[in-house]
Structure 1
Amino acid sequence: MREWRIFLGVFLSTTIFVCGIYLERCVFREVTAKHVVFRVSTPREELDYDFMAALAYLKKRFEENGYRVWGTAYAGRLYPKLFDRAGINVYVRGFEPFYDLRTNEKALNVFYIQRMETIYREELQRYDYYLSSQKGLKNALKDTLKIDFLEGGAVKHEALKPSYLADVLYIYEYKNSEYEAFLQNLDAKVYSGRTFAGLSEEMKKKELSSARLVVYEMGENGVDDKDYVPYAVYDVMSYGRPVLTNYKEPLERLFYQNVHWFDSKDDMAAMTMRVLALEDEKERQRL
């Protein structure tokens, strides 16, 4: 009798274990084909105006096509377990490239190009479909990429209009009286790097996200350029506003055309006006 109880116990334990593996691998990991998750490549805890507008419109378009949007993953946490079973992963391209897709192998991965003029070829190799709001991109990619996941391929949305508090937010490491004199002709806010670093996180966010242009003047080349400089500029960029800064090799290698440069103090004013003019043109052509 005792042997039968032992045998029955072992049998039940083994059965439960095997069923658990089956449920994990064959049921719990199954995807829900009509459920959509947006995954946004921004480290920020809050999304800026352009992202919010794009996500609102994408949500509307997917729901019109019979899908249900589960939610949005961002702030550097792109793969919460809650979204593991999503059948459609829409990667919304921000400032950070997507090279590592860690989603259910049975799900479809859709790449939505929201911003940045430079698209890295190696980024585009693992997606099933592509969407964009950029003019001309559909025709440029039509022979190589599947862009028809939603009817019409490209999704046009109108960006939300931010209320700018200044034309220029100028942050400097060493005082530049000549450039500050130039800024008197514009609606500008000026901070030393030390003063700006002392602001509350809420105030930094408000200033960095509400200027038409952020001018970040760093000091001369230093030993920390390789590590600190890219981090500092990325931190400024991630608020969604254009950045003008002095040329440094690590920045060109990492950000290429996505940062505006000045070579010396002598051309700061001219480059400032040029970038503001470019922003004016973008506003006029905004989808």
Structure 2
Amino acid sequence: MSDSTAPGGQAAPGEDLSQAISRELPFLRRYARALTGSQSSGDRYAMATLEAILADPAALQTGLTVRVGLFSVFHSVWQNADAPVAKAEDRLAAAAQAHLARLTRNSREALLLQTIEGFSAAEVGQILGTSEDEAAALVERAFAEMENSILGKVMVIEDEAIIAMDIAAIVEAMGHSVTGVARTRSEAVALAAKERPDLILADIQLADNSSGIDAVSDIIADMGLLPVIFITAFPERLLTGQRPEPTFLINKPYTEEQVRSAVSQAMFFSSTETLNA
């Protein structure tokens, strides 16, 4: 949840409803993008959500926080459209959609809502129209189904040694192998050339003031599309809609559940739109 969100996800003092929705919109777009696997597709559903609210302000149900209400309206739009994912534009996307067809209904949504967007099990239940217990069960089911689907090689780009070790330990505990850790842009490019990863997990700001975004762009330019997860302490700076955005984005400080979820999502739904330098 954004640090600027008022307690309970309500509008901040002196803030009207439109301002409160605007403040939450970047995070709805992040969720929609990860859910659909495409920035353009995710943005279309986020826009459809806003249009639904404009047409019927009562759609933001009384008793729900602005944040929960906004995501609830999104899910009404999403389910009415039969929860489609983005059109398969390449081999990776087509493979991901084949995997998605085997997931328990709503489990992936519940996983993203709780682990990436920070909703409680009770709030996930409100958004999905189910009970708190069922929402928690959906999250656990998603972890099991997704983690057992795809295992691979993960490359970590992170300049802080303790964080790099922690991320590597989480990834390895999931059954993936870690090809290595790079601290700079040049190290990252060299490491990827040595052993092609199946997934890249990259910090934004690196040891020599180089950019993890630039490192990933260099690697993808050489190797083609790869699933990528970016980590940053300031996600709102990247969720502006002004340029291509990462499909998977983790806030710092992160939790183990967030890393597990993002890695599973990225490996499972391995169609990535990455940032341009």
Of structures 1 and 2, the larger Rg is shown by 1
The TM tier, using the shorter chain, reads: 0.3 to 0.5
Q: Report the TM-score, using the length of structure 1 for normalisation.
A: 0.33
Choose between structure 1 and 2: higher strand proportion. Answer: 1
Q: Say which structure, 1 or 2, has more relative contact order (CA 8 Å, 6+ apart).
A: 2
Choose between structure 1 and 2: higher helix proportion. Answer: 2
